[in-house]
Structure 1
Amino acid sequence: MRAYQVVRGTLGCLGNLGISVGSKLVSLGANWIEGVGATGPVKNPILEATDKAKIKSVFSNYSALVSYDHQGANDYLHLLDEYDGNFTIATQDAASILENDLQDSSMRAGLSVAGWKPGRDMLAQASEWWSWDFGVSWSPDECGFQFGITGDNETFNRFGDERYLAIEERGLNAFVREEALTFLDGIEDPRLLLNTTVDAIEHSTKGVVVHDRNGGCVEAEYAICTFSVGVLQNDVVEFKPRLPVWKREAIEQFQMGTYTKIFMQFNESFWPEDAQFLLYADEDEPFRAEQQTDEETKAQILAVLRKMFPDANVPEPTAFMYPRWGQEDNWPVGMTLTKHQNLRANVGRLWFSGEANSAKYYGFMHGAYYEGKDAGERIAAMVKGEPIINQDTAPDGQLKRYEKLYGSVNMNEYNEGNGWPDDE
């Protein structure tokens, strides 16, 4: 059941609905096929699927970067090299935390210990934004250190460190639609309910009933819930009975950010055409585009562009638009592997899936692929009466969950020696 008129999700592409920006159809959802280039036997499943669907993409050359500040062109790319050196040290520290079961910290603390301290230097802050925030849509202050680095390491070390930007006018999600048609009888298949908004889910140990806004319902032995963390956090859907506390705590602690893509079309180029990316640093606080009108945001962007290119005649764009929805999950400070498992765990016959549920690959499309595949295989086995039972499950095949998660400090350690004097 989908609330939209296309098969989509995080891959949402309104271009598939016939909406365009100027003369181009644009993808409003996922952008990149990430983790490409490894020569080993393991291939990124998303790359295999997009190749099969003949998705057009271009190599993202992150070296084709030009830097600017409020006075125009300013080459401070050496700061990116400085960041990279410190990040390499931080990566080794994060690996040690994971391997030795040490206490985690924030990405900010990890970078600082490794030697990266941008302070109030706007050029260093812009370099950090390019190197970190651009990829995850969260600042280092808001990201857990251990798992903030682990996701990138697992993806780029296993599948390759290249990224390809999809430029497919059918939309990047064309590969999902093509795969769906291998088991559906076309878009009119009655098993596929589009334009159907779910507003309530009844669940028990006997089955699941999903209710939609139009008064209809679907009853099944099992169901997989793929709502984003943002939807689950905002109580858009009513669960009957309410999800247990251990589940809700995990949902509320994980995070979803806003990755705002702003599209502008011009009749002529005023930027260096050999550059793929333009990095801008300014002393002003960045504006929150998702809370503004299109006209306000467009005016602010044009003001920045005219600072970047003071000798050019920067015209009004011929087309302009941007979506406003959450797109990027974040493993926050304090989130443990066991609490994250509670995000993954099923509740009775209601299962949960999506890229946020992938401990190794959250934030990546292949994370969604692996989690969906896992949930589907487990449910199929249960329907056959042959549940998958291993170290990841309870004896009946249910996924592990932790109804009580304990800290690392014993009550007797709350003493004067640890700065907790008895004041009585």
Structure 2
Amino acid sequence: MAVDLRSVLTTWILLLAASSSVADNLAGPLVDQPLADQRLVDQLQLHGFASQGALKTSANRFYGDSPNTSFDFTEIGLNASWRLNPRLRLAGQVLYRRAGEMSDDEPKVDFALADIILTTGDSYRVGTRIGRIKNRLGLYNETRDVPFTHPGIFLPQVVYFDKVRNLILSADGIYVYTDLYQPFGLFSASLATGLPVIDKNVETAYLFGDLPGDLGPDENSWLASLWYYSQDERLKLGWSGAAVSLEFDPQQGSPLPIGPGTVDILYWIASAQYNTERWSFTTEYMAEPMQWRGFGPMRPDRDATAEGYYAQVTHRPLPKWQLMLRYEEGFGDRADRDGRKLEQQTFGLIPAKATSSRILTLGLRWDLNQQWMLKAEYQRHIGNFILSEIENPDFGSFEKHWDLFAIQAAFRF
């Protein structure tokens, strides 16, 4: 069973902060109060961002009632970083996110951690992070909620699923990392374990509906990554992955004969990006082997491997303008790409068109200045794999061919 990390992590962070203050006092003579206050101001950094989007789809619901134009896409974040000494930094962010029916319109702790440098040398660094930590998955997951950090309004959905965003976004746990600096580039590796964040979106997606009961972590998740960055950071290559085990607790007295089943997930991404002064070429491949066990005769045991990949090109013709072209494909099971097998097994409850997505995206970004940015995006969709089951509970009403147009304004400080 999962270890209760949350209370342990809180205690660790408080002890680390206290020990840092003691270490500072032992390191030298006391300073005058005005100097100490100025030092605190220099060490503390505050930043934030806010964005508002509008979406229109020709069919299907995406981030709200998009067929009738949705404005239910808002993100507001406030983050702080406080370096207590050269080896210890505290950081956190509170995020308000409205994303149609996939969010509950409440501020959340996006991350809150202590970053500790354990040892360092001329060519290496080893550290650990403790708390709620952003998972290092793919090129974009750690900064996916900050609109300035990626070229489009939406990340490639066949790799970075917004419908199960919280499962892969962060975990409450411990993260160990090491960086090795070489003349030809940087190697970086990490290993983490912690409790994944499970919500109704995750339950509905992996159980194909809202079953009577609760889905939660069966044990701590494990995450690992290995990255290479060239010296000028033109080339980025990486592999990252996570192993998660979920356990379903059926509601007592439910009329549905659903057992206390488990869902085991291995989610990994291979990433590559090459940057020049005006061009960026990006591609990522995702595979997600999954196993369903013990749910009973209504949900027989099943194995499947979801798959997704994309190719993306961005061009900066002028310093403040950026164009983006992306093509992506995703499948609920790479052994059943057309979805016909699952449609037959579920007697048509899950139509074939719900198991795959092919998406062509055109995007435009305009950085007005350092604080303001505008984006516009058009997507052509074939299939419904990326759609949220919460926003679209009736699979039979899916439209296989549909269009999406979105605009977004963003501000940062």
What is the TM-score with the length of structure 1 in the denominator? 0.24
The structure richer in strand per residue is 2
With normalisation by structure 2, the TM-score equals 0.25
Which structure is higher in RCO with an 8 Å CA cutoff and minimum separation 6? Answer: 1
